[in-house]
Amino acid sequence: LVTDNDIRFQERIDAEEKIEPRDWMPDGYRRTLVRQIAQHAHSEIVGMLPEGNWITRAPSLRRKVALLAKVQDEGGHGLYLYSAAETLGVSRDELVEQLLAGKAKYSSIFNYPTLTWADIGAIGWLVDGAAIMNQVPLCRCSYGPYARAMIRVCREESFHQRQGYELMLALANGTAEQKRMAQDALNRWWWPSLMMFGPSDDQSAHSAQNMAWKIKRFSNDELRQRFVDATVPQAEFLGLTIPDPDLRLNAETGHYEFGAIDWSEFNEILKGNGPCNRERLEARRKAWDEGAWVREAATAHAAKRAQRHLKNVG
Ligand code: ACO
């Protein structure tokens, strides 16, 4: 049933007006935004784990500082995004509870292990590269708080991508063993990075409606193609080989054609059966439990300050 409100809402979207928290919006718009923003927030928080794993083993002080800053940025992104979701009427506690109960999704990519230091380079280059490709258009998302949060997130992601590529460059130009590590990391992270963009367009349940609402500006397949086109020359510059025998440049279209993605691997991860799904949730639960005293202390401190403020005002 299409109401006058729905029609007016779509007109505002078509006119590129931003929708703000107190504006009328269809329930479906609110629901899909809560879903997407929450999944995005969880991805940032869970995404701290694979890289956090290497902070103590970074090979130099400079690398350690960059990695620490990057992982900390991701924590910050998660917090902005939970706040953006809260403007839609859900609480952060509710969202965290869903994550810890294993009911919420987060990006498939964070269920793979980081086996060597080169994985830190591959994640920065490929995973953050894919994230930028997907997230820059979200800066123009129709929902104001999400769009605005994405501006800073994308600037920081861009730094992450560069530190990853620079790390890969150092390895690729290093010893034969370092170059081999870089190639091995590319072999393991390439296909999962392509899966980050989500199911192909004909399988993507939410794409059509979300594009009409201008939450998404480009389809999953369009963004995946852009990522491949941008990344293949970067791999060539590194002197590394993309692990896809079917990859070739179509001179007519100017785009790279690539081999079939193994969607059964993707679907297994979404069901919770990826290599690290259990470990990741376990780590988040442990952090939540062990951080309880910090939350309690911060709440008590805030209450004391508020009381003191009241006394002073009174
Ligand atoms: N990992 C886990 N789940 C995924 C992934 C993925 N890579 N891609 C799609 N899905 C899920 C969707 O969330 C959806 O699940 P749901 O219906 O249970 O909620 C289902 O698969 C079907 O997918 P789509 O219909 O294509 O879903 P949607 O239109 O939301 O598009 C996309 C998926 C592209 C990930 C979109 O939600 C998006 O742009 N999100 C914001 C970016 C983001 O979350 N990035 C996280 C990784 S980047 C980072 O954190 C560094």
pLDDT tens per residue across all 314 residues of the chain:
789 999 999 999 999 999 999 999 999 999 999 999 999 999 999 999 999 999 999 999 999 999 999 999 999 999 999 999 999 999 999 999 999 999 999 999 999 999 999 999 999 999 999 999 999 999 999 999 999 999 999 999 999 999 999 999 999 999 999 999 999 999 999 999 999 999 999 999 999 999 999 999 999 999 999 999 999 999 999 999 999 999 999 999 999 999 999 999 999 999 999 999 999 999 999 999 999 999 999 999 999 999 999 998 87
**Per the structure block, which two tokens stand in for 169?**
């460059």
CA gyration radius for the chain? 21
Strand partners, 143: 19
Reported ipTM exceeds the 0.95 cut: yes
Quote the pTM value.
0.96
What number of CA atoms fall less than 13 Å from residue 43's CA on the CB side?
18
Burial of 232 (0-12, 13-18, 19+ CB in 10 A): middle
Would you state the pLDDT for residue 1? 77
Alpha-carbon distances of 306 from 81, 143, 261, rounded to whole Å? 26, 33, 55
| CA 107 to ligand 1 centroid distance, Å | 7
Would you state the pLDDT for residue 313? 84
Amino acid letter at 203? Q
Closest ligand 1 atom to the C-alpha of 157? Answer: 51
| Residue ID of nearest Cα to ligand 1 atom 9 | 198
Return d(Cα 288, Cα 290) in angstroms, integer.
6
Return d(Cα 186, Cα 46) in angstroms, integer.
21
Which of 200, 206, 224, 280 gets mutated to test ligand 1 (max ligand atoms within 8 A of its CB)? 206
Burial of 150 (0-12, 13-18, 19+ CB in 10 A): buried
Q: Do the beta carbons of residue 199 and residue 208 sit within 8 Å?
A: no
Amino acid letter at 2? V
| CA 267 to ligand 1 centroid distance, Å | 12
Which of 31, 36, 81 gets mutated to test ligand 1 (max ligand atoms within 8 A of its CB)? 36
The 3-state DSSP class for residue 175 equals coil
List helix spans (H) across 87-195.
92-100, 118-122, 128-135, 144-172, 176-195
| CA 170 to ligand 1 centroid distance, Å | 32
| CA 198 to ligand 1 centroid distance, Å | 6
Quote the Cα angle for 277-283-287, to 5°: 150
